[in-house]
Amino acid sequence: MSIDFRNIIKPYPSPIITGRGIDLDFPMLAGCLALLGLGLVMITSASSEVAAVQSGNTLYMMIRHLVYLVIGLGACIVTMMIPIATWQRLGWMMLIGAFGLLIMVILPGIGREVNGSMRWIGFGAFNVQPSEIAKVFVVIYLAGYLVRRQKEVRESWMGFFKPFIVLLPMAGLLLMEPDFGATVVMMGAAAAMLFLGGVGLFRFTLMVVLAVAAVTVLVQAQPYRMARLITFTDPWADQFGSGYQLTQALIAFGRGEWLGVGLGNSVQKQFYLPEAHTDFVFSVLAEELGVVGSLCTVALFVFVCVRGMYIGLWAEKAKQYFAAYVAYGLSFLWIGQFLINIGVNVGLLPTKGLTLPFLSYGGSSLVICCACLGLLLRIEWESRTHLGSEEMEFSESDFAEEPPHGR
């Protein structure tokens, strides 16, 4: 199968190139921009002490985060300009690319080890986390599969099992890093997509049972995972050992009370709480902004995730099924990471290294989240205008007669 790359870079109409000017889903854009702005503020606050010691500049982490934010917004704009049909056509290439990146990261000399995990590929001063890219590529490939094999997925066992020929090896590569959190999020999003794709309740229930059994075996197979599982049930039993990180996070929540101690006044970020600007930035947010600020942040996340699901529903009603499945899959990736990160911060789940979308410090996560936002905005625009297909011819009159934004 040959790919004409001239078609990929052809300037098709997009939400930011229309006869009516910029035509975006502004509620979705505003919600994500609010999270990005809040994330920049909290990274600046939570990383100040660490940055001062490591680099001598209290704003070092903030500057790096700001650079990633600019790159992410650029990625958002680029993805908005690419037709969804192009993503569908290149799904198999993305899957191969995802496997290639996950294999590269575990190779000695290529992958970069941090805190005992080989999750990053270094490019000078920057690190790329292949698992963040792989999760999105899997969603795009699986969406294409559900469209191509819709009847087979709904009616036969073989159509149900075929995706796991791809998903299980990829999960195995993620576990070799190891990255248990990314594995759970990816497989959870895939399971949700299969359910929405029409898999029967019996087959879906069987899949859930097998998944729970697999997670149980994986937890028991590694002593450190078992230790985390035991610790989170009573972190105060070993508050200066295995339960240290969680107890410090809970102290941050306790100090925040209703209205917080004030922006920039966190005590836990001063080397008491490890990873305060990455995996546990929500704890610092809770300490500085209190219960009210935490609940407002959660409400903002809920709005963004629900809006993403509605974008998928609108695409499905417009009979753009590939776009709908992609929107569902991306939304479930966000939902999974959000639930796990918040659950870890408040002690409802065992400690797991997983970033909070849009908020946590981390270049790969931030850029990929922005790119996913661009995809969702493109999907919403195509489903609303019905003009987002490569096979259609466009003219200025098409965009002059666009219906008003009714969502």
In the chain, what percentage of residues exceed pLDDT 90? 47
Supply the angle between the helices 281-317 and 244-256 in degrees, to the nearest 10.
90
| Residues in contact with 123: Cβ distance below 8 Å, sequence separation at least 6, in sequence order | none
Which residue is associated with the tokens 């917004």? 73
Range among 12-16, 51-55, 261-265 with highest mean pLDDT value: 261-265
Give the structural domain span for 277. Answer: 23-389
The total of structural domains in the chain comes to 1
Which pLDDT does position 192 carry in this prediction?
92
Confidence of residue 198 (pLDDT cuts 50, 70, 90): confident
Would residue 156 count as lying in a domain? yes
Paired strand residues for 117: 114
How large is the average pLDDT for residues 368-377?
96
Lowest mean pLDDT across 50-64, 122-136, 363-377, 392-406: 392-406
* Residues 7-25: tens digit of each pLDDT: 544 456 778 876 667 788 9
pLDDT bracket for residue 1 (50, 70, 90): very low
Instruction: Give the pLDDT score at 156.
Output: 82
Say what the pLDDT of residue 19 is.
64
- Can you give the pLDDT at residue 11? 52
286, 233, 289: which is closest to 263 by C-alpha? 289
Would 10 be classed as within a structural domain? Answer: no
pTM of the model: 0.88
Domain-embedded: residue 81: yes
What pLDDT does 299 receive? Answer: 96
pLDDT > 60? residue 296: yes
Task: Please report the pLDDT score of residue 391 as a whole number.
Answer: 43
Is 405 a domain residue?
A: no
What is the DSSP-derived secondary structure letter of residue 14? B
Look at residue 397 and tell me if it is in a domain: no
pLDDT score for 215: 76
- SS3 for 60-109 is HHHHHHHHHHHHHHHHHHHHHCCCHHHHHHCHHHHHHHHHHHHHHHCCCC
Q: Inform me whether the pLDDT recorded for 302 exceeds 70.
A: yes
Q: What is the pLDDT of residue 109?
A: 79
User: How confident is the model over 114-133, as a mean pLDDT?
Assistant: 79
Backbone torsion region of residue 331, taken as left when φ is above 0, otherwise alpha when ψ lies between -120 and 50, otherwise beta? alpha
pLDDT tens, residue by residue, 153-192: 888 888 888 888 889 999 999 988 888 888 989 999 999 9
pLDDT band at 289 (very low <50, low <70, confident <90, very high): very high
Q: Is residue 400 part of a domain?
A: no
Comparing 218 with 289, the larger pLDDT belongs to: 289
pLDDT at 395 over 60: no
Taking residues 260-273, report their average pLDDT: 90
pLDDT tens track for 306-318: 999 999 999 999 9
Predicted local distance difference test score (pLDDT) of residue 28: 96
| Nearby residues of 98 by Cβ (< 8 Å), 6 or more positions away | 130, 133, 134, 137, 138, 170
Q: What is the mean pLDDT of the chain?
A: 85
**Alpha-carbon span 216 to 254, nearest angstrom:** 32
Residue 15 lies in a domain: no
Asked if residue 14 is part of any domain, the answer here is: no
